[in-house]
Structure 1
Amino acid sequence: MNDDDIYTARLELVDFPIEVFWDTPREEFIEKLLAGDVLIPEKDVNEQLTTGFRHLRSFIDDHEGEDPAAVADDLAGEYTRLFAAPRPPVLPHETYYRDDTDLLGEGLAEVEASYAAAGWKRPEEYPEESDFIAVELAFLRWVIERQQQGQEEAFGYERVFLDNHLLGWKDAFLADLVDNTEEDLFLAAGYVFAGLVEFEDELVAQMVPN
């Protein structure tokens, strides 16, 4: 696998949990999944990624031949229950899991400072707070793209963001998700999120030591 293939794989990994967690999964995305247009790696990378891909295969197998619109409607209900209803059981925000700040409190400024230091501005179509899982992953995606373009300083930005943000809450979020849903698509995205962060940590450590 050459460098371009590795970057493509990294970006596709980031795109999957962004698509699942950003909002209720879109019908077009579900149609793509059920049509087999999403490549699922055969080679194990780490345990969490392997588990995530197993849940994704289960989701695809269980809904084979179904109307993507109907599947998307069902997922919308579970998404709302999990993440958006009053007092949802799972809060996909970094500051919820941090001991040094309240949910959506002072920790938001630290997340935003990491974005600003790298020169990234959250796209206007992202209405959620800066510590929301899909926003943090969108920043990670942007950093990986900068690395692909040969900007070596982007490895340093990722090192800081992993250490100060993503690594500190990925496992706690995943544990909450596992405790509160049996929906394979959301479990797949949760495990891929956690496994991706672990994979990126190991990869970036080769470029920028901890």
Structure 2
Amino acid sequence: MNEAELYEARLELIDFCIDVFWDVPEESFVERLLGEGIETPEESVNEPLDEGFALLREWRGENRDRSTEAVREELNREYTDLFVGPRPPVLPHETYYREDADFLGEGLADVEASYEAAGWNPPDDYPEEADFIAVELAFLRYLVERQRTGAEEAFGFERVFLDEHLLEWTDAFVEETREEADPGLFLAGALIFQGLVRFEDELVAQMVPGGF
């Protein structure tokens, strides 16, 4: 895999996770999932990515012959039950899993400070708080795009964001999702998210020796 292909693969993984978690999956995304618009690697990458891709392939096989509308309605119910509630069993927010921060409280300022330091603001179409999974992934996407265009400082920003934020809560979020979700798209998405974070951690370690 050359450098251009690696960047494309990284961005595709991030986009997939955003599409899974930012809200009830859109019709166009479900159509791609059930069609030929999503490809998974055949070679092993890391344990959570491998497990997530295997679950995704299994889910696609089970639903490929169903209508997009029926699958989307089912995903709507699952997403609402898991992440919206009332009283959702899984809350995909960093501050919910941080012992050193209040849920949706003072810990949000630390997340926002990371965005501001890199010159980024969450898009207007992300109605959730700054620590919501899809917002943090959108920031990660911004950093990877900057890296692709030659902004070497973006590797440093990513190193800090991984160490101070994503790596601090991803495993706990995935563990809770595994306990609460049935095997399917959202558990697959959680595992792929976990694998993505680990992959980025290893990649950025090569670019930023010694860390920050």
User: Is 1:180 the counterpart of 2:180 in the alignment?
Assistant: yes
Unaligned runs of 5+ in 2: none
Q: Return the alpha-carbon distance in structure 2 between the equivalents of residues 190 and 134 of structure 1.
A: 12
What pairs with 1:64-83 in structure 2 (closer than 5 Å)? 64-83=64-83
Measured against aligned partners, the alpha-carbon deviations of 1:153-176 in whole angstroms (never above 9, x if no partner) come to: 000000000000000101000000
Q: Secondary structure at the match of 1:169?
A: helix
How many residue pairs end up in the alignment?
210
Partner of residue 36, structure 1: 36
Residue 148 (structure 1) shift: 0.1
1:27 and 2:30 equivalent? Answer: no
Match in the other structure for 1:199: 199
Aligned to 1:9: 9
| Deviation, structure 1 residue 66 | 0.7
Matched residue type, 1:140 = L
Q: State the partner residue of 2:109.
A: 109
Query: Matched residues, percent identical?
Result: 60
CA distance in 2, matches of 1:153, 1:188: 32
Counterparts of 1:43 and 1:10, CA distance in 2: 16
Change (3 A) 1:124 1:133: same
Q: 3-state SS of the aligned residue for 1:52?
A: helix
1:151 counterpart residue number: 151
Q: Give the Cα–Cα distance (whole angstroms) in 1 for the partners of residues 32 and 129 of structure 2.
A: 28
Alpha-carbon distance in 2 for matches of 1:183, 1:26: 20
TM-score (norm 2): 0.98
Match of 2:142 in 1: 142
**Uncovered stretches (5+) of structure 1, i.e. residues with no partner:** none
Q: What's the CA shift for 1:183?
A: 4.0
Aligned mates of 2:107, 2:194 — CA distance in 1: 21
RMSD across aligned C-alpha pairs, in angstroms?
Answer: 0.7
